Amino acid sequence: MTAVVDTLPETERYARAVESSKRVRWDIEKDVIRGRRFDTGHKFLPDGLSLAGAFATLSPGERRFVSQIQGRTYANIFGLVERFINAKVLELSHDHWFGDQTALEALVRFSDEELKHQALFRRIDAMIGDVLPSGYRFDVDANAVAHAVLGKSTWAVLALTLDIELFTLLHYTQSIASDAELSEIFKDVFLYHWKEESQHAILDELELVRIDSGMTADARDRAVDELIQLVAAVDGILQAQASADAEYFAATCGRPVDDAGAASALRDGSRQPDYRGARAAPEGSARDAAVVRDQA
């Protein structure tokens, strides 16, 4: 399968992304939510991503609560990054206005799906908020983050975006899909997200290769430096949110938690969730996603 995809001309790869986008198209309420509510008797984030084993001083119920807090943050992080991803995709579509109309359609569909994903994650945040205690905070300004990210080179933004898309696919296939203890709604959210992100990873790679082909070695070196800066900035956001999540847990878990005990362990452990997929991701490229896409 990978060999077939590798030999396809670029126009055909854009066309296949359009075809797959039409085939897997879904609706938030009709296909994903289906009138259901979150059940706090289930985990939201799997142990492989929450690293719940690090929370040795917490009871099973408290570890489940941690997975629910981190699951809410996990969804919010995706809603955050999709703000700048969508803006960059719309910018890139300009390059195809008077050229390859199949490529233009693929990117327009990409943008439309990213807007839907943002709406999905806002919906999920509200639904989880209905069943968890009040006091949760996710104070990151999505527009401010988007402005900062889009100030970097297109190469750096696309490289970051491709990394995000690829670990999204790996998180679902390697951790979320196989965990029988997870909330069925949470699993469905990331199943349907995965279906469309599989096409997005392929388009990210096509656009990154296209942009890279016109760059000098010096410009590429500067773009790599910018990518490193962007990864560090994303890590800073995750670190700050981990502290906020730990404070929320300590305030709402129903028992006193001192900084020297469970709260400290939770704060340290919350900084480790594999949002970026660094530990799980094997070597590869968006061509790996093509195989995943054809299984959707």
Sequence ranges of the domains in the chain: 8-24+47-295
The pLDDT, as a whole number, for residue 289 is 36
The pLDDT, as a whole number, for residue 268 is 58
* Phi-psi group of 277: left, alpha or beta (phi > 0 → left; psi -120 to 50 → alpha; rest → beta): left
The pLDDT, as a whole number, for residue 279 is 36
The pLDDT, as a whole number, for residue 266 is 56
CATH annotation of 8-24+47-295: 1.10.620
The pLDDT, as a whole number, for residue 295 is 36
Alpha-carbon distances of 287 from 5, 18, 150, 177, 290, rounded to whole Å:
7, 16, 25, 21, 5
Is residue 162 within 8 Å of residue 210, measured between CB atoms?
no
Place of tokens 């939201």: 44
Within the chain, residue ranges assigned H as helices are 2-6, 10-24, 47-50, 60-93, 101-131, 142-150, 154-171, 184-212, 217-252, 262-270, 286-295
Per-residue pLDDT of the chain (296 residues; tens, 9 = 90+): 343 345 567 889 999 999 999 999 999 999 999 999 999 999 999 988 888 777 778 889 999 999 999 999 999 999 999 999 999 999 999 999 999 999 999 999 999 999 999 999 999 999 999 999 999 999 999 999 999 999 999 999 999 999 999 999 999 999 999 999 999 999 999 999 999 999 999 999 999 999 999 999 999 999 999 999 999 999 999 999 999 999 999 999 888 776 444 555 555 555 544 444 433 333 333 443 333 334 33
Q: What angle do CA 189, 194, 195 make, to 5 degrees?
A: 105
The pLDDT, as a whole number, for residue 296 is 36
The pLDDT, as a whole number, for residue 263 is 55
The pLDDT, as a whole number, for residue 254 is 85
The pLDDT, as a whole number, for residue 278 is 36
Task: Give the H or E element holding residue 52.
Answer: none
What are the structure tokens assigned to 18, written together? 């359009």
The pLDDT, as a whole number, for residue 50 is 84
Using alpha carbons, select from 235, 217, 218, 230 the residue that is nearest to residue 156: 230
The pLDDT, as a whole number, for residue 231 is 95
The pLDDT, as a whole number, for residue 244 is 94
pTM reported for the whole predicted model: 0.86
Residue 166 DSSP label: H
